[in-house]
Amino acid sequence: MALYDEYLTQAEIQRWILDADALWGAIDPALALAQPILLDQVRDSALIESYFPIYTTRLIRALWDQIDVTSVFSIQLYESYKHFYVLNRYLELVGYRPIGTEEILEIRRRNLDARIDDPIGELGRYMISEHFAAYFFLRLSRQAGEPVLKRIAGFIAQDEFRHTQFAYDLLDARVKQDESCRERVLHAGLEFRHVGADAVPQVPISQKNDLGAILALNKRMQHLCGVSLSNFVKGSVDAGH
């Protein structure tokens, strides 16, 4: 439970309070509505976050006997739905296409029968998805002209980087115990499909071909698996896979 203790401590240290920290009363709707493309991305991000009660519980069920996984994901589940709530509340307050119940239920209904055949590979998929989500929210915090959205996006980016790290730590323990986990994580990268693609047709990204995010992921995979994802992809291509 040492990992959970550390993660809980970090979550508490970095915790931000919805009503105290979001500064709802300072929102400038005119500034927000001047960037409709960003608001569309905020909306898609909110839909993705609304999906995590289904996705996370499915992953927890697949790894039900892994106490460290189920413990830290209990915090992740709270934080992901907190992200949905704050993003959708922002859309409501600026008057831009807030998300209703039926839209959330449609995403859940569509994914109810999805299966996880390889929990370790899925944990790798989750880590990579959170990595790109972190860079998206970091970019959003820099591009948003409306100060409250800038602030909220910064808080969420901080959470997503922490989620990426705890997924890495969970995978690192398993790769060290079982060599086969290394290949499963690398294949998750090779065949990567963002978790958000379960919920929306086009997942918001930090920017097209974001070199910084890609290089950071490559380095993370190198540390985790002993080979970078780019070299693993190259080797798979050379081998004719």
- Gap between the Cα atoms of 97 and 81, Å rounded: 19
Domain 2-7+28-238, CATH: 1.10.620.20
pLDDT at 238 over 60: no
Evaluated on CA atoms 114, 117, 123, 125, the torsion sign reads: negative
Which residues are CB-contacts of 227 (< 8 A; sequence separation ≥ 6)? 186, 221, 235
pLDDT of the residue at 237: 46
Mean pLDDT of 160-189: 95
Write down the pLDDT at residue 234.
73
**Tell me: the pLDDT tens digits for 59-90?**
999 999 999 999 999 999 999 999 999 999 99
At 98-127, the pLDDT tens digits run 999 999 999 999 999 999 999 999 999 999
- Separation of alpha carbons 48 and 44, rounded Å: 6
Percentage, residues of the chain above pLDDT 90 = 80
